[in-house]
Structure 1
Amino acid sequence: MRRPAAALALLAFAQLIISLDYNIVYVALPEIGSTLGFSAQTLQWVVSAYAVAFGGFLLLGGRAVDLFGPRQMFVLGLAVYAVSSLAGGLATAPLPLVAARAAQGLGGALLFPATLTLVSTGFAEGRRRNRAFAVWGTAGGSGMILGSLLGGVLTDAFGWTAVFFVNVPLAGAAALLALPLIPRRTARRTVRRFDVAGALTSTAATALLVFTLVQAPESGWTAPPVLAAAAVGVLLLVAFAFIEARSADPLLPLRMLRGRELGTGVLVTFLYMGTFGTLLYFLTVYFQTVHGYDALHTGLAFLVPMAAIVAGSQLGGRLATTRGTRTAMIVSLVVGGAGTLILGVSLSTDGTYLTLLPGLVILGLGQGAGYTLMFGAATAATPADQQGVASAVASTAQQIGGAVGLAVLVAIAGASTNGLTGPALRAATTEGLRTAVFVAAAGIALTALVARGFSPARRRHTPTA
């Protein structure tokens, strides 16, 4: 990096855009639905279109990073974000808005592996790289919560279009700043082919499987479209594995998945997002359904956990430098799991926000540290020319893990609320949320056991005089 501090700030800012864009539309959904004429069944696709496109195109985006360079894909991803956000804000009907959200997901699928690759390869291993991941993780972890706050403020002040228009100057400015701050990677003499068959099958398979996971809770797991998407997605996934095993230059070399760090990292990322990644949703339901918070107050309620996530991200980076990534990852999961248990105990229909603070703070510390560490740990042993694909694999696990975890825990939380109203509904909702949070805590404990699969820190030998 020509100017490391400025480049790191830019990479963190890009990660912040990705995190913000994922959930900034949540609090604006009621206004979007009433203004554009969405039905109750189709409104979820304002969120789901982004998730399906993001998850479906990640491997393609990661391979493009390796072939064409992370700088080029970084700029292209931001440009796609800016244009699609402008299109979303100008939409006057449901279909154009859903298409714009899908295009935003494509931009994220290009931008995320490019950003992670630049962090992994642009800073020297050890303290500098750990610090870079701490800053990058702070932006990503806090951005998911900041999206709820910013979405509430913008929607309340300017209307739903503001949650789209705000991305246009942010992404455009970041794309322009990348040109002087991020160096162009030196071209390699080896010419590598683009695996078209692998790209098509992997993109379609992942998109269909993510579609299945986000649509099934709404339509039912036995609905014909859901079953058809699942069946075709599995068949295409098998076809992808068959193609990659026989390709001279595969999109995803299957031997990469047998590596200790990436294999463990994929499973840790999957479980992390299936547990930690769902808690924001359940807290939102608790604040709004049980205690009647509006969009603005819900966003403000997340300020404390956001501060804890920022602090946890910095502590995680320092602990990784002194004790190694494996130890730091396990400690972060143990702390986050303890905070989740405390939070579950604190949920009640008549409790105050103050009773939640101990659990929110401890949970945020562990969650922030874990988010900072898991992607770097997953890609640590990957060669530089395969960092894009490795980053995409880890992020695909992130997307699918979040979808699976949310589907399972939502079913657990809502099992006893059917047909209830008034105080009975509030009490049943609280009990269901508490059960889901306890199940998430058990999943976090399992994640800590899986994290033991990472390689222990290498001992440093001090040369004698």
Structure 2
Amino acid sequence: MSHPPHLTATHEHATETPRRSWSVLAMALAAQVLVVLDISVVNTALPTIGTELHLASTDLAWMVTAYLLFSGGGLLLGGRIADLLPKRRIFMLGMTVFTGASLLSGFASSGGELIAGRATQGAGAALMTPAALAIIMTTYAGAQRARGLALWGAIGGLGIAAGVTIGGALTTWAGWQAIFWVNVPIGIITLVTAMRILPKMKAERVSLGRFDVAGAATVVTGLATLMYALSGTETHGWTSTRTLLTLGVSAVLLAAFMAIECRVAQPLVHPHTWKISSLVSSTAVMLGVTGLVVGTVFLTSIFFQTTLGYAALTAGLAVLPLALALVVGTHVAGIISNHLAARGVASSGLVVAAVGALLLSRADEAASYAVDLLPGLLIIGIGTGMVFVAVSGAAMGGIPDEHAGMAAGFLMTGHEVGAALGVAVLSAVAAAAGPLSTAAGAAAAFERGFVAAVVVAVGFAALAALCMPATRSAGGHLHMH
């Protein structure tokens, strides 16, 4: 049996590179905005969808779960496909699937149709996301690439935070169908733009007989099972038979995937990928910071509506400062990254976020939005914005073109798993303090949940400080020898 190529990590050296048009970056970021928004945009529309389509709460939960299952489960496979086939073709295929599914979801007349539409959206996202990030990597270099990666990272948090506001506004003013139909014109414009500005590339001669089918099957199934397990903890708890069984099945499948990757000639994810500390550590921190943002949106949305009595749209608008502060955080990261390494920027951002979470943990039933809640939201936004920029640049900086899709899929898998894990962990901790359906219970849960968020932020700050790249130019080259 032929031995797989060895992968090692080296640092990227700055070189003078020609400037490229920003149009490709704008196209890739537009695609990622759609993908990330659809993680949270549906949440505020769920009560309206349930009423109009006469759905049970379990069906509503699947509106969120189906998207995460297919997007999170398929990212590693999507990344590998983007490395093997022309990135332009894979990006356009993913966008076509995503846009078509969005159109059909808006016309859904039953829960089954809408769940199928959300699953198909997720499948399109799994193809589109790693291809889009890989296109940024292969189009730009030097300072332009660094700026592109920073903006990509910012979108990862901004979209989730803004999704609640956008979903509430569209549902209130135009009906729940609008949260899906709004994707269609943006998707079509992005597709037309891609056809015009992305160069056509010849495909490699890919031998399907040597493609890692077993690895693809086990990792997609394993990650999808993990997302399913995490998404159900809010309803079933962490110690239920359902949760323990699905977590166990996921662990077995992912262990089988790792074993398969060590034995096949052309692995989906090369085993030596785990030795690229910049990619692995940054992906771990990406998981943590995404969980922190999603958990914050989840806890504050419940607190605003159940304890303070806000309407859904008002609650969405109340979360908007978090998204705006996140943008400020990306600018802060850009300034201090001239003086600090990626580990310094990320760990500092997480410490800032921990301070914001601590402030929010002090809110009670008599809380004032302006005095007790807004400062904490702003501080968390600034801190997490810093982190998203740092981890995206550190993870992808220096990854060569031929492995850009794999690295992108790896990083964004951390993003998707973090989104599911954030709600699962913080909701479990919060629910232990009181029922989320009563004003007093939601207030107690809010306090307990943000105490847990402080612990999470500090823990990942330590991880970032110890494990992320120690140099400002750190990245990770994959060299074949």
1:13, CA displacement in angstroms?
Answer: 1.4
* Shift of residue 200, structure 1, vs aligned partner: 0.9
Task: Tell me whether 1:53 sits opposite 2:70 in the alignment.
Answer: yes
Question: Larger deviation: 270-279 or 34-43?
Answer: 270-279
CA contact (8 A) 1:276 1:440 kept: no
CA distance in 2 between partners of 1:67 and 1:459 (Å): 28
8 Å contact 2:168–2:316 — kept in the other structure?
yes
Shift of 1:223: 4.6
Alignment match, 2:164? 148
User: Are 1:337 and 1:444, in contact at CA under 8 Å, matched by a contact in 2?
Assistant: yes
Which residue of structure 1 aligns with residue 155 of structure 2? Answer: 139
Give unpaired runs (5+ residues) of structure 1.
461-465
Question: 2:41 matched to 1:27?
Answer: no
Deviations 1:131-166 (A, max 9, x none): 222333333322222221221111112211111111
Aligned-partner Cα distance in 1 for 2:309–2:229: 31
Aligned partners of 1:407 and 1:204: how far apart in 2? Answer: 20
* One-letter code aligned to 2:456: G
Q: Give me the TM-score of the superposition, normalised by structure 2.
A: 0.88
- 1:203-239 deviation line (CA, Å, top 9, x unaligned): 1111111111112332344555444433332222222
Q: What SS does the corresponding residue of 2:297 show, helix, strand or coil?
A: helix
> Where in structure 2 are the equivalents of 1:102-141 lying within 5 Å?
102-125=119-142, 127-141=143-157
Query: CA shift at 1:36, angstroms?
Result: 1.4
1:3 CA drift (Å): 5.2
Counterpart Cα distance in 2 of 1:328 and 1:150: 29
Take 1:432 and 1:382, find their aligned partners in 2: how far apart are those partners? Answer: 42
SS at match of 1:109: helix
SS in 2 for 1:323: coil
Distance 1:459 1:403 in 2: 31
Q: Given the superposition, is the C-alpha separation of residues 263 and 54 from structure 1 closer, same or farther in structure 2, using an over 3 Å criterion? A: same
- Alpha-carbon distance in structure 2 between the residues aligned to 1:339 and 1:95: 40
C-alpha distance in 1 between matches for 2:93 and 2:204 = 21
Q: Give 1:457's aligned amino acid.
A: T
TM-score normalised by length of structure 1: 0.91
| 1:450 aligned residue | 463
SS of equivalent to 1:392: helix
Q: Which residue pairs with 1:279 in the alignment?
A: 296
1:290 aligns with 2:304: no
Q: Taking every aligned residue pair, what percent have the same amino acid on both sides?
A: 35
How many Å separate the matches in 1 of 2:461 and 2:445?
A: 25
User: 1:371-391, CA deviations, whole angstroms, 9 ceiling, x for partnerless residues?
Assistant: 122122123343321121122
Which residue of 2 is the match for residue 439 of structure 1? 452
Question: What is the CA–CA distance in structure 2 between the aligned matches of 1:190 and 1:232, rounded to whole Å?
Answer: 32
Residues 175-225 of structure 1: CA deviation (Å, up to 9, x unaligned): 111122233456558978421111111111111111111123323445554
Question: Which of the residues 150, 163, 168 maps onto 2:179?
Answer: 163
Structure 2 CA distance for aligned equivalents of residues 318 and 9 of structure 1? 22
Indicate the residue corresponding to 1:463 in structure 2: none
* Pairing of 1:345-384 with structure 2 (within 5 A): 345=362, 347-355=363-371, 356-384=373-401
If asked which structure has higher relative contact order (CA below 8 Å, sep 6+), I would say 2
For the residue of structure 2 that corresponds to 1:160, the secondary structure is coil
* 1:73 paired residue among 85, 90, 94: 90
Given residue 35 of structure 2, which amino acid in structure 1 is its aligned partner? I
Q: Tell me the amino acid that sits aligned with residue 226 of structure 2.
A: L
Measure the CA separation in 1 of the matches of 2:36 and 2:418: 16
Letter in 1 for 2:174: F
* In structure 1, C-alpha distance between the alignment counterparts of 2:136 and 2:297, rounded to whole Å: 26
Q: Give the Cα separation in 1 of the matches to 2:279 and 2:471.
A: 16
1:329 aligns with 2:342: no
Output the amino acid matched with 2:464.
A
Look up the SS of the partner of 1:44 in the other structure: helix
CA distance in 2, matches of 1:411, 1:129: 39
Contact 2:330/2:382 (<8 A) preserved: yes
Deviation at 1:257, TM superposition (A): 1.0
Q: Which residue of 2 aligns with 1:40?
A: 57
The residue that corresponds to 2:3 in the other structure is none
Q: 1:166 to 1:443 in 2, by over 3 A?
A: same
CA distance in 1, matches of 2:448, 2:254: 34
Q: Could you tell me how far 1:431 is from its partner in structure 2?
A: 2.1
State the number of aligned residues. 454
Q: What amino acid sits opposite 1:218 in the alignment?
A: T
Shift of 1:459: 8.1
Q: Distance in 1 between matches of 2:237 and 2:359?
A: 33
1:395 and 1:228, CA in 2 relative to 1: closer, same or farther beyond 3 A?
A: same
The CA RMSD measured in Å over matched residues stands at 2.3
Q: Which residue of structure 1 lines up, in the alignment, with residue 6 of structure 2? A: none
Query: Paired residue for 1:175, among 176, 186, 191?
Result: 191
| Residue pair 1:130, 1:318 contacting (<8 A) in 2 also | no
**Which residue in 2 is equivalent to 1:426?**
439
Shift of 1:458: 5.7
